[in-house]
């Protein structure tokens, strides 16, 4: 019975993966931001960071010492037994410093994993959109190739061609070969993207469907040191600061305190003794000066690095905002794909009626494909700039409204 259930569950899982279909980028986004292999990986990695604090909380185990000596005291056998149980008392706030350093490190790595997961998710959204763009370009290329082949077939079926028709035939063949090569490039690029997008969408096969997107207008954005990449730079400084505190705590020796029990026999006599033992390393040779110096210099270096990186992030944010606004302005001024398709279809009808010459129909197809490629390139500039702005600032509202 268990075997039947296992086989049935396996078949259902395989069917679910095979039948996974996203009608557009909106559905793909919902899936991507709710569950994907990288997101699952990030969750496990973030859970692992919690162990930093658990490890730092651990106290040293007590030391158990036992000594036995045997001797002779003027003909009498002597036996000495000493048992010590020494508890380690960490001085100088070592445990609290260790825990604070672990907390700072856990926060840093958790934020880094979140940033990594966000970037991977956004990159795959862009890859889906690029794959959908290529779907449009592939269809346009196939239409042009079909048209060129039809015209070539007609011209080659004629017994005689005038000089203009001969040039047109040669031009058409060159255009056909060029479009066939470009079609191959588009298909290869789409196949590569399909594999990556299907992996993140947990599908074996994925069909792209292009959907026009209304991109948001972004106003003035200030870089906050509590979000995004700037927050990570501050986290790194905090880790370095806590490490310095930890190195300072190591300047104090630990105490080992505990009871001592002794038992001695001398001939027929027995003696029992008890007391307390205190052990510590005398700080005569060093007080961890080297460790404190290294941590102090590391903190200064990290503070300078963070200051430089945050300054660079501010410049990068301004540049990306400029790219976004310029590209969006250009994109909004460009005719939509539906309008261009309408113009193109009108040109096709005129050609079929014999009103438009062969060179003009070649140029019409070239302009049609090149325009769409240029429009998509502008759209990708918008998407890439938006992704970088989100990664830098960490403002989720920029992405939450996108593809909705």
CA separation for the pair 255, 72 (Å, rounded): 35
CA separation for the pair 378, 129 (Å, rounded): 13
Report phi then psi at 218, rounded to 5: -105, 125
180-184, 242-246, 257-261, 350-354: least confident range: 350-354
CA separation for the pair 139, 373 (Å, rounded): 13
CA separation for the pair 234, 107 (Å, rounded): 11
- Give residue 330's pLDDT: 95
- Give residue 327's pLDDT: 95
Residue % of the chain over a pLDDT of 90: 51
- Give residue 76's pLDDT: 84
CA separation for the pair 109, 121 (Å, rounded): 18
Average pLDDT over every residue of 53-63: 90
Average pLDDT over every residue of 114-140: 93
Say yes or no to pLDDT of 89 above 70: yes
Q: What is the DSSP string of 246-297?
A: HHHHTTSPPEEEEEEEEEEEETTEEEEEEEEEEEE--TTS-SSHHHHHHHHH
Q: Which domains does the chain possess? A: 2-400 (1.20.1600.10)
Report phi then psi at 284, rounded to 5: -85, -35
pLDDT band at 19 (very low <50, low <70, confident <90, very high): very low
DSSP alpha helices (H): ranges in 19-93? 25-34, 37-57
Q: Which two tokens stand for residue 67?
A: 């000594």
Place of tokens 């040779």: 285
- Give residue 128's pLDDT: 93
CA separation for the pair 73, 79 (Å, rounded): 10
Environment class of 325 (CB within 10 Å of its CB; exposed 0-12, middle 13-18, buried 19+): middle
Say yes or no to pLDDT of 57 above 70: yes
- Give residue 20's pLDDT: 60
Nearest Cα to Cα of residue 53 among 92, 88, 96, 116: 96
Edge-to-edge strands, sheet with 63-73: 63-73, 76-89, 255-266, 269-280
CA separation for the pair 95, 238 (Å, rounded): 17
Asked if 29 contacts 79 with a C-beta cutoff of 8 angstroms, the reply is no
Asked if 165 contacts 239 with a C-beta cutoff of 8 angstroms, the reply is no
Say yes or no to pLDDT of 11 above 50: no
The larger pLDDT score, comparing residue 326 to residue 169, is at 326
Residue % of the chain over a pLDDT of 70: 94
DSSP alpha helices (H): ranges in 215-261? 228-249
Q: Rounded mean pLDDT of the chain? A: 87
Q: Quick one: DSSP state of residue 356?
A: S
């Amino acid at each position: 019975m268990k075997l039947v259930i296992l086989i049935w569950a396996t078949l259902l899982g395989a069917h679910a993966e095979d039948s996974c279909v996203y009608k557009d980028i909106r559905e793909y986004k919902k899936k991507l931001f709710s569950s994907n292999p990288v997101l699952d990986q990030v969750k496990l990695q973030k859970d692992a960071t919690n162990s930093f604090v658990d490890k730092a909380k651990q106290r040293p185990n007590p030391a158990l010492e036992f000594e036995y000596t045997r001797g002779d005291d003027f003909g009498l056998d002597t036996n000495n037994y000493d048992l010590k149980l020494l508890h380690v008392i960490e001085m100088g706030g070592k445990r609290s410093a260790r825990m604070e350093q672990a907390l700072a490190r856990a926060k840093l790595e958790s934020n880094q994993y979140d940033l990594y997961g966000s970037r991977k998710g956004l990159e795959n959204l862009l890859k889906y959109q690029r794959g959908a763009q290529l779907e449009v370009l592939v269809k346009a290329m196939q239409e042009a190739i079909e048209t060129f082949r039809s015209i070539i077939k007609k011209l080659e079926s004629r017994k005689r061609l005038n000089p203009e028709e001969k040039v047109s035939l040669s031009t058409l063949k060159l255009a056909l070969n060029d479009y066939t090569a470009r079609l191959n490039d588009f298909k290869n690029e789409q196949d590569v993207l399909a594999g990556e997008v299907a992996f993140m969408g947990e599908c074996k096969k994925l069909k792209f469907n292009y959907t026009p997107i209304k991109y948001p207008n972004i106003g003035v954005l200030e870089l906050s040191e509590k979000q995004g990449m700037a927050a990570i730079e501050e986290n790194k400084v905090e880790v370095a600061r806590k490490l310095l505190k930890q190195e300072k705590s190591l300047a104090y020796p630990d105490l080992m305190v505990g009871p001592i029990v002794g038992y001695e026999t001398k001939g027929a006599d027995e003696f029992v003794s008890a007391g307390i033992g205190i052990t510590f390393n005398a700080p005569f040779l060093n007080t961890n000066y080297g460790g404190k110096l290294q941590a102090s210099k590391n903190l200064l270096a990290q503070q300078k690095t963070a200051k430089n990186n945050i300054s660079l992030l501010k410049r990068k944010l301004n540049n990306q905002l400029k790219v976004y606004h310029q590209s969006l302005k250009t994109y909004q001024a460009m005719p939509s794909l539906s309008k261009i398709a309408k113009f193109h279809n009108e040109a096709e009808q005129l050609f079929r009626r014999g009103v438009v010459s062969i060179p003009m129909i070649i140029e019409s197809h070239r302009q049609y494909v090149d325009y769409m490629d240029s429009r998509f390139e502008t759209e990708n500039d918008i998407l890439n700039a938006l992704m970088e702005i989100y990664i830098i600032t960490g403002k989720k509202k920029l992405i939450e409204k996108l593809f909705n």
